[in-house]
Structure 1
Amino acid sequence: MVTIIQGTTKKPVSSRQLTDFFTCHNRYDGSLYIGYPIIGTAEGPYSIDALLVSESKGLVVFNLIEGRGVDGFQDAQDDSYNKLESKLRAHKALMKGRNLQVPIHPVTFAPARNDVTELSDEEHPLCNEKNLDAWLNTRKWDNPSSFKELVSVIQAISTIRKGRKKREVQNPNSRGAKLKRLEESIANLDNQQAKAVIETVEGVQRIRGLAGSGKTIVLALKAAYLHAQHPEWRIAVTFNTRSLKGQFRQFINTFAIEQSNEEPDWENLKVIHAWGAPGGGDRDGLYYSFCRTHGVEYHDFGSAKRTFGQGKELDGACQRALGACTRPSGIYDAILIDEAQDFPPSFLRLCYEMLKPGKRLVYAYDELQNLNSQPLPPPEEIFGRNPNGSPRVRFEPNRTGSPRQDVILEKCYRNSRPVLATAHALGFGVYRTPDERTGMGLVQIFDRAELWREVGYEAVDGELADGHEVTLARTPDSSPKFLDDHSPVEDLLQFGWFNSPEEQARWVVDAIKHNLEQDELRPDDIVVINPEPLTTRKVVGPIRQLLFEHGINSHLAGIDSSQDIFFDADGKSVAFTGIYRAKGNEAGMVYILNAQDCYGAFGNVAGVRNRLFTAITRSKAWVRVLGVGKDMQALRREFESVKNNDFRLRFRYPTEEERKKLTIVNRDMTGAELHKVRKTQGNIAQLVKELEKGIVRPEDLDADQRSRLIRLLNGEVA
């Protein structure tokens, strides 16, 4: 069966007829790209009308005729063939001596012509829907041994990898060698990723996927593809984690050069922060641009915090700006948003209002990244309604051969099955000691149970429904086996308990020294994460000093390095980071310090569990979760339960009422809310103490207040 990937095309009718042909003739294999690839030439970017990449046929290059005019179709075929052959010859993996190992079959598809056989010849075939099947049957690829490399070249992924430092290894069983094989195994985009890059819709497109499913690279390649197709468009790419900026620019730049033979026009293609500030250049941001363009009041972070409250800074600022602007002006032709789960819905709506007609907004997010029971609202709710009450944005059901508005990236290519299942088990509290306030170990859960299936889990026992016992496991398709068969489970994941922070520090230094000297890992294969952002500089200082004494360089990401760069440019320094800068980044070996801080925290238990989940899922191979004290021992017991259950999640799915209680009990509180709750707890404790001692009698309390308090404590509505 042929996978159809619908890109931008100026020949919609013939493109549709070609895709209909392959939909009906499902015995063919491969991927059919419409409006892709774009080839960089001396004359500028050259777009191929359609390309079939098939293990049985090789490459079939289609020149599409939209009407009846076929004059010069032979020259057009020759041009497509020569440009594509030149592109492929530049890749040694596709060559044997001077010979290209991939057959290229050019053909002109003219569905409106009935006389194609009269105009066709062996060298320049001309087909319509009636004779295309017979012609394709004569095409074949006798030795498709380089098919995998061909796909990588067509997707331009091979070019992106060339920009990375070559990994030199001597021991085939070292960690460095294993990591090299892992990186080579993830050679190409899968079908879902390729579709997400190329498929372009008029309107809003949503891309969902787990950490490690490729959302960031998909958005970067999509931005470069749109820029190559429409260099006159103004396109913005934005994100929440500031250190992603350098990564985005690198990916976009490499892909753009591949497609157009020149760097992007960074005036039209902006990699831009979400918030922004006056000063221009790198200080610019989408929210600030909206305020400046429309002449509405701008709030910096401090002002927004004072005005709208802690935790509501961006939401309040965006809502205020939207409310003050009655007639928004279009600034961009397309906006792409990564890490959308970290933005309030009001920011997405602000971006939508900044778009010109066509409203091309692409937002990617991970519904499990924050493990919130309240995911992003549906698009009908985010983007508001028309005057007649209909939603401004509504996703239509996906149709075969048409670009999809709602894309799900099911496969996780970063975390192995044991690592990802452990992260979810700890993040949700699946095997946590039950809380007396809720009767459950769970600290949070999804309202919509079906979401588990959408992101790659299946129910292997029980029923995935409210009030039922269920056992969830990763499917083989969603968690490829090669991600965990390179090392035993005992090496993939280790939980370490120490008597003191000093002992923890010495252990980490010895382990990193061994990684670099014996394991053939590079410094930029290692990330050390402290989940508590306010203590990171203090916590990592002694470890970095010990490393320095051993001649090992390190840096604190965003503090003694550029805020827009996470890893050292030369790859010769170990990255230390707080949890927020870690998001969006990955490494072969991840060390998590002071994990005991993530066991629980009054007024923030869900928040600290989210931090642990995020830290664990930064790993491409190995994770070391470290800590001190009894909370670390409790966390380690949870991990042992995950391992004893073969990395499956076994629990009773809470009912709607229980989920509401979870949300209340384990909600994240601001500092002000914590202060109020603690003050009230102290007052109640004092009252109970004085009642017990007889200092205050029940009769001394106001009767109405007493009865209201009893009803509230019994869970009744006052």
Structure 2
Amino acid sequence: MAELIEANFNEPGVLYVGYPVLAGTDGVSSVDALWISPEHGIVLFQLVEGSDATGFEAEQDDYANKLDTRLRPHNDLMRGRTLLAEPIVVTFAPRTSATTTEPDYRIASSDGDLIKQLSAIQWDRPDLFERAHSVIQSISSIRKSKRKRQTAKSDSRGSILKSLEDSIANLDSLQSRAVIETVDGVQRIRGLAGSGKTIILALKAAYLHVLHPEWKIAVTFNTRSLKAQFRRLIETFVYEQTREQPDWEQLQVINAWGAPGGIERTGVYYQYCQANGLEFWDFRRAKERFSTQTAFKGVVEMALAASNRASPVFDAILVDEAQDFAPSFLRLCYAALGEKKRLVYAYDELQSLTDSSLPPPDELFGTNAAGQPNVVFDENAKGKPSQDIILEKCYRNSRPVLATAHALGFGIYRDTDPKTGTGLIQMFDRSELWRDVGYTVKSGNLEDGQQVTLERTPDSSPAFLETPAEVDRLIEFIEFSDTASQTKWLVDQIERNIRYDELGYDDIIVINPDPISTVKQVASPRRELFERGIQSHVAGVDTSSDIFFRGEDESIAFTGIFRAKGNEAGMVYVINAQDCYGGPYNVGRVRNQLFTAITRSKAWVRVLGIGPNMKRLKEEYSRVEAHNYELEFVYPNEETRKHLRVVNRDRSASEQKKIQGATSSLTKLVSDIGEGKVLLEDLPADDIAALRRLLDR
């Protein structure tokens, strides 16, 4: 059926299979399929696989009534008491000869009949397509701000931000697939900062919970302040689908480590220890045995070593921010699952705030008794759930903000290092990944040793994200002579944001990249804000570790980079950015701190700093701006990459097999030519010429 619709209706639209989930007095169930398009409206499908379609009318009524109930509360889909996006139900029963004379019911018994009936359905309100689609995805409620934004000036920052938030209406096709498609096994979701990984995991967890309330599901993460955000997103989605609250005993939003004390304190590692009769180590004890930085890694590895045959704890685990965990934690999650091993992990390698990198899945999850990898990702195939999804669109950061973050993170325009002969700090191990994350080649070649210019287009960085530039510059790098002048400028700007720009307190984040010195570094600006009647807090210090913004309280969030992860705001101030220029050691790590800080912004970024390193960083940014936020550089060859921090995109098993096959064939061909078994004149001249051109390059 999907192929039929795709082949015969060349228009914008989305076909869902097994989605959405609809609630009624008799419980919750998923529809067989739903198609929504601007021309044909909302069409629900009931599929009859057997030869008996008796009673299809009652099934159609049930489908239509349940979706009607979902749509009616949204006033912009109504005119008086009339629903303007009325769902139509079609029964597809290809093994029957069933027909009906009732005008309110539609049934098709052949492919041709189905196409004929769908073609006859017309919708006179295509302008409501985006809105109706948003309701079906349950995004309409989730996208709403936690507070109602009140603005009086149409050209204020607050008004522009409201317009921007209202423009992000729906999930795109890749995001929708990531939510709905689930494999019995491991699934990986990779994407840029702002590509929606957190909201996708929240929706996926809620969707699985609604479909399988008997499953025990865990959602976990590295940044504890994500906990409240996950609970809010999941609660909203579950209520939209079922009109009931989630069962938080079955669907647990929990920390990775955890501790005794009930559902609010438990964690994945703690429950794993409990289920397997292992000794639980808390942080205080663990850091004495290992170190502050390696405490969690140490206790997890101890638990794995002590449990060769682990008892299952969960039916599914979803991990956000996987790049900030040691590989051993993902192995523990894998061990904590039952036979199906439903593990979903999402990450962005460039937001890694450690010097470690996740290995490919066939290495990450070990081997079986036969020496074969436990996890191998198959190539994506049409009609099958994807094991490896890459999200290329960014819905948080505008093109200038994201390109600046990438340029600084990779060192595209950094001064040349005499040791390496390049300013580059890190690079993808395979050039194709630039395309995967939404860049296109404007000029040159994306090949070793070649000059290349990369750009982001409206397809991967929607143009409406740049509208805040109508108020003020999206990005500024500002150098100060001392800490006092940096503090005064920051406090002046925050006061203006609150008093005149119509920004709310939770529209502002102040980030100090160094997490260790944050409390000390932010003391002075917080004191000056207090003297001006503006409250503030240090996230995770003045609040619970699970709280970032103070909700209804009017308070500006100051934070170190680790607690900033997973959060966003319209205005982001990065202070003491000179520490992110980098010295002889850990330059990749501190540049990733800067990348992460900049990409917290939904609109404006102000990067502040002091001294010569801030001057160098500002000059580096000026080169990004001069190149119109395009990335122009010589792609490093293999020898140069040895000196860089490599950002991995591992090859799938099928890709490796193809490479091995091609290598074997080439080796044999060279050998046969050398031994005279094959003559060059016997080979196709066009292929020989093409090979010569490739080798010359």
Instruction: Give TM-score scaled by structure 1 length.
Output: 0.87
Cα displacement string for residues 622-666 of structure 1 (whole angstroms, at most 9, x for unaligned residues): 0000011111111100011111111112222222232222349xx
- 1:97 is aligned, of 73, 80, 85, to 80
Does the residue aligned with 2:623 lie in a helix, a strand or coil?
helix
Query: 1:45, CA displacement in angstroms?
Result: 2.2
- 2:355–2:589 CA contact under 8 A, matched in 1: no
Please tell me whether residue 623 in structure 1 is matched to residue 605 in structure 2.
yes
Please tell me whether residue 84 in structure 1 is matched to residue 84 in structure 2.
no
Of the structure 1 ranges 320-329 and 291-300, higher mean CA displacement relative to structure 2 is found in 291-300
Aligned to 1:282: 264
Q: How large is the Cα RMSD of the aligned pairs?
A: 1.9
Please tell me whether residue 173 in structure 1 is matched to residue 155 in structure 2.
yes
Distance, in Å, in 2 between the alignment partners of 1:280 and 1:591 is: 37
Distance, in Å, in 1 between the alignment partners of 2:151 and 2:471 is: 23
- 2:134 is aligned, of 134, 140, 152, to 152
Structure 1 residues 162, 29: CA separation in 2 closer, same or farther (over 3 Å shift)? Answer: closer
Query: 1:69, CA displacement in angstroms?
Result: 2.9
Distance, in Å, in 1 between the alignment partners of 2:294 and 2:457 is: 38
Aligned to 1:21: 4
Does the residue aligned with 1:336 lie in a helix, a strand or coil?
strand
Q: Return the letter of the residue paired with 1:64.
A: L
- 1:429–1:443 CA contact under 8 A, matched in 2: yes
- 1:111–1:128 CA contact under 8 A, matched in 2: yes
Q: Return the letter of the residue paired with 1:242.
A: R
- 2:45 is aligned, of 37, 62, 65, to 62
Does the residue aligned with 1:56 lie in a helix, a strand or coil?
coil
Q: Return the letter of the residue paired with 2:58.
A: D
Please tell me whether residue 247 in structure 1 is matched to residue 225 in structure 2.
no
Distance, in Å, in 1 between the alignment partners of 2:600 and 2:104 is: 52
- 1:129 is aligned, of 104, 110, 114, to 110
Structure 1 residues 140, 571: CA separation in 2 closer, same or farther (over 3 Å shift)? Answer: farther
Aligned to 1:667: none
Identity %: 56
Gaps of 5+ in 2: 647-697
Structure 1 residues 642, 371: CA separation in 2 closer, same or farther (over 3 Å shift)? Answer: farther
Cα displacement string for residues 166-186 of structure 1 (whole angstroms, at most 9, x for unaligned residues): 111111111111101110111
Query: 1:139, CA displacement in angstroms?
Result: 0.5
- 1:185 is aligned, of 167, 191, 197, to 167
Cα displacement string for residues 320-357 of structure 1 (whole angstroms, at most 9, x for unaligned residues): 22222121121111111111111122211111111112
Query: 1:212, CA displacement in angstroms?
Result: 0.3
Query: 1:293, CA displacement in angstroms?
Result: 1.4
- 2:416–2:422 CA contact under 8 A, matched in 1: yes
Please tell me whether residue 38 in structure 1 is matched to residue 30 in structure 2.
no
- 1:38–1:46 CA contact under 8 A, matched in 2: yes
Query: 1:522, CA displacement in angstroms?
Result: 0.7
- 1:443–1:662 CA contact under 8 A, matched in 2: yes
Of the structure 1 ranges 207-216 and 382-391, higher mean CA displacement relative to structure 2 is found in 382-391
Cα displacement string for residues 518-561 of structure 1 (whole angstroms, at most 9, x for unaligned residues): 11111110000111111111111111111111111111111111
Cα displacement string for residues 387-411 of structure 1 (whole angstroms, at most 9, x for unaligned residues): 2222211112212232211111110
Aligned to 1:349: 331
Query: 1:374, CA displacement in angstroms?
Result: 6.8
Q: Aligned runs of 1:471-490 on 2, under 5 Å?
A: 471-487=453-469
Query: 1:469, CA displacement in angstroms?
Result: 2.2
Distance, in Å, in 2 between the alignment partners of 1:463 and 1:571 is: 52
- 2:444–2:451 CA contact under 8 A, matched in 1: yes
- 2:535–2:555 CA contact under 8 A, matched in 1: yes
Structure 1 residues 157, 419: CA separation in 2 closer, same or farther (over 3 Å shift)? Answer: same
Q: Return the letter of the residue paired with 2:529.
A: L
Query: 1:109, CA displacement in angstroms?
Result: 1.6
Q: Return the letter of the residue paired with 2:298.
A: G
Of the structure 1 ranges 427-436 and 370-379, higher mean CA displacement relative to structure 2 is found in 370-379
Aligned to 2:321: 339
Structure 1 residues 26, 377: CA separation in 2 closer, same or farther (over 3 Å shift)? Answer: farther
Of the structure 1 ranges 298-307 and 360-369, higher mean CA displacement relative to structure 2 is found in 298-307
Please tell me whether residue 655 in structure 1 is matched to residue 634 in structure 2.
no
Structure 1 residues 489, 319: CA separation in 2 closer, same or farther (over 3 Å shift)? Answer: farther
- 1:120–1:126 CA contact under 8 A, matched in 2: no
Does the residue aligned with 1:137 lie in a helix, a strand or coil?
helix
- 2:22–2:67 CA contact under 8 A, matched in 1: yes
Structure 1 residues 156, 137: CA separation in 2 closer, same or farther (over 3 Å shift)? Answer: same
Does the residue aligned with 1:282 lie in a helix, a strand or coil?
coil
Aligned to 1:47: 30
Aligned to 2:509: 527
Cα displacement string for residues 131-160 of structure 1 (whole angstroms, at most 9, x for unaligned residues): 111111110102222111101110111122
Distance, in Å, in 1 between the alignment partners of 2:280 and 2:632 is: 49
Distance, in Å, in 1 between the alignment partners of 2:281 and 2:513 is: 29
Distance, in Å, in 1 between the alignment partners of 2:589 and 2:232 is: 32
Please tell me whether residue 548 in structure 1 is matched to residue 533 in structure 2.
no
Distance, in Å, in 2 between the alignment partners of 1:326 and 1:551 is: 58
Distance, in Å, in 2 between the alignment partners of 1:655 and 1:314 is: 37
- 1:496–1:626 CA contact under 8 A, matched in 2: yes
Q: Return the letter of the residue paired with 1:408.
A: I
Please tell me whether residue 222 in structure 1 is matched to residue 204 in structure 2.
yes
Distance, in Å, in 1 between the alignment partners of 2:442 and 2:466 is: 20
Structure 1 residues 309, 663: CA separation in 2 closer, same or farther (over 3 Å shift)? Answer: farther
Q: Aligned runs of 1:230-629 on 2, under 5 Å?
A: 230-309=212-291, 311-370=293-352, 375-487=357-469, 491-570=473-552, 572-629=554-611
Q: Return the letter of the residue paired with 2:56.
A: F
Q: Return the letter of the residue paired with 1:349.
A: R
Gaps of 5+ in 1: 1-17, 665-718
Structure 1 residues 623, 440: CA separation in 2 closer, same or farther (over 3 Å shift)? Answer: same
- 2:156–2:471 CA contact under 8 A, matched in 1: no
- 2:446–2:452 CA contact under 8 A, matched in 1: yes
Query: 1:461, CA displacement in angstroms?
Result: 2.2
Of the structure 1 ranges 422-431 and 245-254, higher mean CA displacement relative to structure 2 is found in 422-431
Distance, in Å, in 1 between the alignment partners of 2:472 and 2:428 is: 30
Q: Return the letter of the residue paired with 2:82.
A: N
Structure 1 residues 340, 62: CA separation in 2 closer, same or farther (over 3 Å shift)? Answer: same
- 1:210–1:366 CA contact under 8 A, matched in 2: yes
- 1:415–1:620 CA contact under 8 A, matched in 2: yes
Q: Return the letter of the residue paired with 1:507.
A: W
Distance, in Å, in 1 between the alignment partners of 2:625 and 2:472 is: 10
Query: 1:26, CA displacement in angstroms?
Result: 4.7
- 2:108–2:114 CA contact under 8 A, matched in 1: yes
- 1:288–1:298 CA contact under 8 A, matched in 2: yes
- 2:184 is aligned, of 197, 202, 207, to 202
- 1:48–1:61 CA contact under 8 A, matched in 2: yes
Instruction: Give TM-score scaled by structure 2 length.
Output: 0.89
Of the structure 1 ranges 423-432 and 622-631, higher mean CA displacement relative to structure 2 is found in 423-432
Structure 1 residues 663, 102: CA separation in 2 closer, same or farther (over 3 Å shift)? Answer: closer
Aligned to 2:651: none
Distance, in Å, in 1 between the alignment partners of 2:490 and 2:199 is: 31
Distance, in Å, in 2 between the alignment partners of 1:109 and 1:61 is: 10
Distance, in Å, in 2 between the alignment partners of 1:285 and 1:207 is: 22
